[in-house]
Chains A and B, each alone.
Chain A
Amino acid sequence: MYRPIGTRRSLGVMGAGFVLFLAACGTQGTSPSEAAESSEPEASASAASGEVVEIEWFVGLGTGENEEQIPTEEAVVAAFNEANPNIHLTLTVVDNTEAATTLAARLPSDPPDIIGPIGIRGLQSFGDQLLDIGPYIESSGVDLSEIPQALIDVYNVDGKQIGIPMAVYPSFIYYNKSLFDEAQLAYPPHEVGEQYEGQDWTWEVLRDLALQLTVDANGNDATSAEFDPENVEVYGLDAQFTENDTRAWSTIFGGSGSVVADDGSTAQWPDNWRHGLQFFYDGIWVDHIIPNQTAVQALADGNTFQSGLVAMDVVHQWYTCCVYPGEGDPPVTDWDIAVLPVGPDGVITSKLHADTIGILDSTEHPDEAFEVLRFLAASPELTQVWGALPAIENQRDAFFAGLDERFTPLEIDWNVSTQMLEYPDNPSHEAFMPSFDEADSANKDFGSRLWNTAGLDLAAEIDAHVQLLQGIFDEGT
């Protein structure tokens, strides 16, 4: 039904009034005086008055929007409503590709209360819309001692605690045992510090291994003189689902880094990142051990490891969602995970993804929303269904047991995952940049170019790209 919103506002020019009207909707609830003035006197009503408070949980900015995940989320919502008669929690699930758009369209006039799971990248877009839950954690006495401080700090932005860490996803190497068996090569190491065939486990050693695992249609591997790069059938290495994010590629093969210099405004591409990106670019166009974009799409439509034609694949813990036992051609029946090599900067870097749930600061019912947040954070079935390593350490064994059940009869060495959690990328490959969204997009446009174009002078391309980034940083408001 029609209800006037902010009608008492001055309406000057119709259009200007309209913008004000938008702003009025946007400020509803952000400051109590505005809210009280608006047409909803019960805006700050709480459970005390016997009113049922509506809280909306918006899912889709990260994982959690897959059809098979929704029933679990609905069950958690139902359980919450069962336990809290004064709060009515509703679930809105939007497809990941449209989630940011729909959320942005709603924010000025009709924002949800809780958003998530949302990753580090999503926080760059919506982070300053999130409520500082620090005071609520203190006043409610939530115990965070089970969660490593480093993970808590991931969600501390400018002194604001915007989320309780729920789910972390270290990355490591998924490897296809059948392809190693076929080439009669030893499996990669499962322990940090372990050597491979008498050599230190570095990217260079891994590259030699990948060359032997890359096979063309005639059965020649990439070390042979007859190797035909036009008809590669098996690739030694990939980093799937990175899309074309150059920061991610640089981090995987070159270690931690940042496109922003210490002064916070100068664009750069650090040396170890240049090295890492060169490794990746040459891996595609010179060594032919990594598939280019065309090849990636031909390999199970981007789910390259599942195609059974990729020997080693650097992916996150969440990838257990999408490796289907016994499917694919040839079926990936036999796989395991291995630790990442030492990077050019002399350390291991396992790029980390992390998910949390946050409260929008426009909510009219922060107390009730926090109640919901507590409940969700304490529901291990959620992290289970998102394929995430629980941030709370004592939930991890149960999580791995659940995975083991899924992948029986395989026995995956999950110890690799917990080891890799010790080596997160810092700064994160999804960390803040000035004009974040534009800069992020420019990085991906650059990635699209590298992924599809042979024979580029990479050093010159990087320099040009840094210049472009500088322009974007300077444009930032």
Chain B
Amino acid sequence: MAMTPHTTGSAALPIGAVPTRWGRLTSRESLTGLAFVAPFIIGFVVFSALPMIASLVLSFTDFDPRRADETRFIGLDNYARMLRDPVLLQSLWVTVRFALLVVPLTLGFALAVALLVNNTLLFGRSVFRTLFYMPMQIPIVASTIVWIGVLNAQNGWLNYGLGAVGIDGPNWLQSATWVGPSLALMGLWGIGNMMLIFLAGLQSVPTELYDAARVDGAGVWGRFRHVTLPMISPVLFYNLIIALIATFQYFTQAYVVSNGRGDPDRATLFFNLNLFREAFTFFNMGYASALAWLLFVIVLGLTIVLFRTAGSWVFEGSER
């Protein structure tokens, strides 16, 4: 998965299996490597593999934690049930629609902020970095409560501000149309980590590339398009994958704003919230496990597709 070789610009570092002298030490190398990876292998077996395999096995049963001793194997029934579950389709649609909105929005905003606080012209850069990172330190439960207050249709500040410029703000959290954008707005508060990773990427772009571009007469946009973007594309790629996974795992905020139910009118019934309902409201743990594996397959598929196409857009177009 991870090792797609690609043609790179001058400053790109070699990727993948490289040197030759290590090759001779293969057997010893293997042992050493395995020794270093051992913590993961042990932990994986105990804390991940067991529960994961258990959930795979459970997905072929009608397991209900309240009646564990009555569990029966029901073959592929849970997977067949997905096909006739209208709520599942709805939750998939809610999730995909939200991903299309929130992934570009947060990626773009995080990049813009990173560019801003990386700009040498800015006074007090470190203070601004800290301020943009700050919301990450607020417990999610608390920050969601704050946003619920801000988005309140009657006395929230957002509608107050919109009203000041003559816009009649919607009922953000009670309207099936606007609750998605509301959550996307909330998501902007969670860009701290993305911003830092972008920042690290921006810092690693060699300044001589910018100088060269300047000499070639590239303007601000040209420099961004032909130097910055290609040079930070690996970071962008990492952020994209993580953002995508996070969106499909989106749960806590939706849980808090909708009382754990997906209100209004199932407009916030994200895939994972639906799964949670199946598991812990309806106690269909078997069906929920099947849903989890469906999610697993979807996200894995997306990730693989992204890795496959990565070669074509990561590190392209820095031809000079």
Direct contact of A and B (CB under 8 A): yes
Residues of A whose CB lies within 8 Å of any CB of B are 13-16, 18-19, 22-23, 25-27, 30, 97, 100-101, 104-105, 107-108, 125-126, 128-129, 243-244, 292-295, 297-298, 435, 437-438, 441, 444-445, 448-449, 451-453, 468, 475, 477
Residue of A nearest to B149 (CB): A301
Stretch at the interface among B192-200, B224-232, B262-270: B262-270
Q: Tell whether, in the assembled complex, residue A18 and residue B57 are in contact, meaning their CB atoms are under 8 Å apart.
A: yes
Question: B153 at the A/B interface (Cβ < 8 Å)?
Answer: yes
Question: B21 at the A/B interface (Cβ < 8 Å)?
Answer: no
Q: Tell whether, in the assembled complex, residue A15 and residue B65 are in contact, meaning their CB atoms are under 8 Å apart.
A: no
Residue of B nearest to A16 (CB): B57
**Other CB < 8 Å A-B pairs besides A125-B283, A292-B174, 8 of them?**
A18-B54, A27-B68, A107-B66, A298-B154, A437-B281, A437-B283, A441-B261, A452-B174
Question: B303 at the A/B interface (Cβ < 8 Å)?
Answer: no
* Distance from B83 Cβ to chain A, minimum over Cβ atoms (Å): 12
Question: B58 at the A/B interface (Cβ < 8 Å)?
Answer: yes
Contacts of B65 in A (CB 8 A): 104-105, 107-108
* Total residue contacts A-B, CB cutoff 8 A: 103
A367 to B186, CA, bound (A): 52
Question: B302 at the A/B interface (Cβ < 8 Å)?
Answer: no
Q: Tell whether, in the assembled complex, residue A14 and residue B50 are in contact, meaning their CB atoms are under 8 Å apart.
A: yes
* Distance from B122 Cβ to chain A, minimum over Cβ atoms (Å): 40
Contacts of A451 in B (CB 8 A): 264
Q: Tell whether, in the assembled complex, residue B265 and residue A23 are in contact, meaning their CB atoms are under 8 Å apart.
A: no
Question: B97 at the A/B interface (Cβ < 8 Å)?
Answer: no
Contact partner of B266 (CB less than 8 A), chosen from A18, A128, A445, is A445
Question: DSSP majority for the B interface?
Answer: loop
Q: Tell whether, in the assembled complex, residue A293 and residue B174 are in contact, meaning their CB atoms are under 8 Å apart.
A: yes
Q: Could you list 18 examples of A-B contacts with CB < 8 Å?
A: A18-B50, A18-B53, A19-B54, A19-B61, A25-B68, A100-B281, A105-B280, A107-B65, A126-B66, A295-B154, A297-B152, A298-B153, A298-B155, A445-B263, A448-B261, A451-B264, A452-B175, A452-B264
Contacts of B175 in A (CB 8 A): 452
Contacts of B81 in A (CB 8 A): 475
Contacts of B155 in A (CB 8 A): 298
B residues 239-276 near A (Cβ < 8 Å) are 259-266
Question: B67 at the A/B interface (Cβ < 8 Å)?
Answer: yes
* Distance from B80 Cβ to chain A, minimum over Cβ atoms (Å): 11
A107 to B261, CA, bound (A): 23
Residue of B nearest to A292 (CB): B174
Q: Tell whether, in the assembled complex, residue A452 and residue B66 are in contact, meaning their CB atoms are under 8 Å apart.
A: no
Contact partner of A15 (CB less than 8 A), chosen from B57, B261, B264, is B57
A19 to B69, CA, bound (A): 10
Q: Tell whether, in the assembled complex, residue B67 and residue A19 are in contact, meaning their CB atoms are under 8 Å apart.
A: no
Q: Tell whether, in the assembled complex, residue B277 and residue A298 are in contact, meaning their CB atoms are under 8 Å apart.
A: no
Question: B158 at the A/B interface (Cβ < 8 Å)?
Answer: no
A241 to B306, CA, bound (A): 47
* Distance from A97 Cβ to chain B, minimum over Cβ atoms (Å): 7
A477 to B285, CA, bound (A): 14
Question: B171 at the A/B interface (Cβ < 8 Å)?
Answer: yes
Q: Tell whether, in the assembled complex, residue A444 and residue B66 are in contact, meaning their CB atoms are under 8 Å apart.
A: no
A-B CB proximity, top 6 nearest: A26-B68, A15-B57, A15-B53, A108-B68, A298-B154, A101-B280
Contacts of B57 in A (CB 8 A): 13, 15-16, 18-19
Contacts of A16 in B (CB 8 A): 57
Contacts of B68 in A (CB 8 A): 22-23, 25-27, 107-108
Question: B71 at the A/B interface (Cβ < 8 Å)?
Answer: yes
A473 to B177, CA, bound (A): 30
B residues 171-186 near A (Cβ < 8 Å) are 171, 174-176
* Distance from A160 Cβ to chain B, minimum over Cβ atoms (Å): 15
Question: B56 at the A/B interface (Cβ < 8 Å)?
Answer: yes
A129 to B81, CA, bound (A): 26
A100 to B276, CA, bound (A): 12
Q: Tell whether, in the assembled complex, residue B261 and residue A100 are in contact, meaning their CB atoms are under 8 Å apart.
A: no
Contacts of A243 in B (CB 8 A): 259
Contacts of A448 in B (CB 8 A): 261, 263-266
Residue of B nearest to A34 (CB): B69
* Distance from B286 Cβ to chain A, minimum over Cβ atoms (Å): 10
Question: B40 at the A/B interface (Cβ < 8 Å)?
Answer: no
Residue of B nearest to A446 (CB): B265
